[in-house]
């Protein structure tokens, strides 16, 4: 049975990625094909862990599905610092999630 609140969260999730600060990153699932997705990236100070937090859509088609994310093998490619070359970072943790969005830590 569908939950109206979850349906509303999922439907509204895409609007976060129309805001300034959204970046296109490459997601590399441990099994599957790499693809470009939108993410809002928060960068840590140099030397701090995790290197980044990435807010992505909790969606198999528009982002990353929380049911399929593998924190032991999936990776995301983005710059650790704004303007720096992109680096391949391992997704280490799902910090938070709901039906529309998921916040990931990557180092």
**Do residues 91 and 106 touch, judged by C-beta distance below 8 A?**
yes
Per-residue pLDDT of the chain (107 residues; tens, 9 = 90+): 468 999 999 999 999 898 888 999 999 999 999 999 999 999 999 889 999 999 999 999 899 999 999 998 999 999 998 889 999 999 999 999 999 999 999 99
7, two tokens? 């349906």
DSSP code, position 58: S
pTM for this model (two decimals): 0.93
How far is residue 7's CA from residue 20's CA, in Å, rounded to a whole number? 25
Q: In which domain, by residue range, is 63 found?
A: 4-106
Count up the domains in the chain and report the number: 1
């Amino acid at each position: 049975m569908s939950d109206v609140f979850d349906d509303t969260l999922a439907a509204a999730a895409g609007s976060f990625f129309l805001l300034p600060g959204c970046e296109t990153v490459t997601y590399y699932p441990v099994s599957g094909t790499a693809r470009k997705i939108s993410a809002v990236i928060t960068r840590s100070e140099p030397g701090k862990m995790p290197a980044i937090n990435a807010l992505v859509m909790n969606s198999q088609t528009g982002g990353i599905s929380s049911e399929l994310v593998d924190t032991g093998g999936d990776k995301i490619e983005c710059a650790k610092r704004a303007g720096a070359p992109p680096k391949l970072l391992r997704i280490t943790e799902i910090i938070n999630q709901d039906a529309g969005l998921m916040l990931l830590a990557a180092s």
